[in-house]
Structure 1
Amino acid sequence: MTEIRTPRLLLRRWNPDDDLAPLADIQSDPAVMRRIGDGAPRSLDGTAEDIERWEEEWDDEGFGVFAVELLGSGELAGAVGLYVPETPPQVAGHVGVQWRLGRQFWGQGYASEAAQATLEFALQDRGIDRVVAVTAVDDASSLKVVHKLGMTSLPGEAEGGLRVHAIDLTEFEA
């Protein structure tokens, strides 16, 4: 089973029996979900589908979205990991990094810490040559995360007010 430990976090595979209810609480918050997918909060069933899809990606791709657990308390803080985006067209088929944390975990550096560990996992462990991230142009918090990751913004704006960022293995190791 794939696990990554950072100084404050455990990134691990999903356990639906334990993780479904806390993730559903996180994903039912409109503030958390406003920039994810269609921006709609997820129901319990929708969250169960997310976990199932993420676990299938692990089985099919050898990577996926991690459950992010606080080491100190064991509390589920959210989801951070790798996926293959379908949109916008500039990133379709590439490997992307994404994050969503419960609002009570915002502003504490957890997203950056988990995303950095995920990026290292992608580039060094899984041999992925390039990782992308998609953010809203006006999402200052996510822009801070991508800059901490060392990602550079690609020229221009993608459809829907989105910006695409990328880093490849040579940039990561520099």
Structure 2
Amino acid sequence: MTEIRTPRLLLRRWSPDDDLAPLADIQADPAVMQYIGDGAPRSLDETAEDIERWEDEWDDEGFGLFAVELLGSGELAGAVGLYVPVAPPQIAGHIGVQWRLARQFWGQGYASEAAQASLEFALQDRGIDRVVAAVGEGDTSSPKVLSKLGLTRTGDTDGFRLYAIDLTEFES
């Protein structure tokens, strides 16, 4: 089982029995989902499909979105990790980094901490040499996280700002 510990977090594979309800609560928050996918909150059934898709991606690709748990309390904070975007076309099929955290965990550095660990995993454990990201217009927080991680803006398209990092230059 793939697990990564950071100073404050445990990044691990999904346990649908334990993680479905807390993740469904997170994804039901319109503020959390505003810049993810179509921006709509997700239902319990849609969240179950997300977990299943992420676990399938782990099995098929050897990476995916991690369940992010607080080490101190064991509480599920959200999902962070790697995925294969289907849009926008400029990054479709590449390997992207993504996160979604419960609102009460915003502004505390958890997204940066977990995404940093995900990039280290991509480079060191999976040999991935480039990671991309797409940020929706209006999202002012994600570019700050991406900058901390060393991703640079590579262009704009269809309402998204595009970012990338060559992991051979990544500093962990």
TM tier, smaller: over 0.9
After TM superposition, the structure 1 stretch with the greater mean CA deviation from structure 2, 130-139 or 143-152, is: 130-139
**What are the equivalent positions in structure 2 for 1:56-75 lying under 5 Å apart?**
56-75=56-75
Deviation at 1:42, TM superposition (A): 0.5
Match of 1:152 in 2: 152
Identical aligned residues as a percent = 81
Matched AA of 2:157: A
1:132 is aligned to 2:132: yes
Distance in structure 1 (CA, Å) of the matches to 2:67 and 2:171: 26
TM-score for both structures, normalised by structure 1: 0.96
Q: Please, which runs of 5 or more residues in structure 2 have no aligned partner? A: none
Distance in structure 2 (CA, Å) of the matches to 1:168 and 1:124: 13
Distance in structure 2 (CA, Å) of the matches to 1:143 and 1:110: 15
Match of 1:170 in 2: 168
**What are the equivalent positions in structure 2 for 1:1-174 lying under 5 Å apart?**
1-155=1-155, 157-159=156-158, 161-173=159-171
CA deviations over 1:90-115 (Å, ceiling 9, x no partner): 10110000000000000000000000
Deviation at 1:124, TM superposition (A): 1.6
RMSD over aligned Cα atoms? 1.0
Q: Give the paired residue count.
A: 172
Distance in structure 2 (CA, Å) of the matches to 1:134 and 1:35: 10
CA deviations over 1:59-113 (Å, ceiling 9, x no partner): 0000001000000000000000110001111101100000000000000000000
After TM superposition, the structure 1 stretch with the greater mean CA deviation from structure 2, 111-120 or 132-141, is: 132-141
Deviation at 1:137, TM superposition (A): 3.5
Q: Please, which runs of 5 or more residues in structure 1 have no aligned partner? A: none
Distance in structure 1 (CA, Å) of the matches to 2:17 and 2:137: 36
Matched AA of 2:80: V
TM-score for both structures, normalised by structure 2: 0.98
Secondary structure (helix, strand or coil) at the match of 1:154 reads strand
Distance in structure 1 (CA, Å) of the matches to 2:76 and 2:157: 32
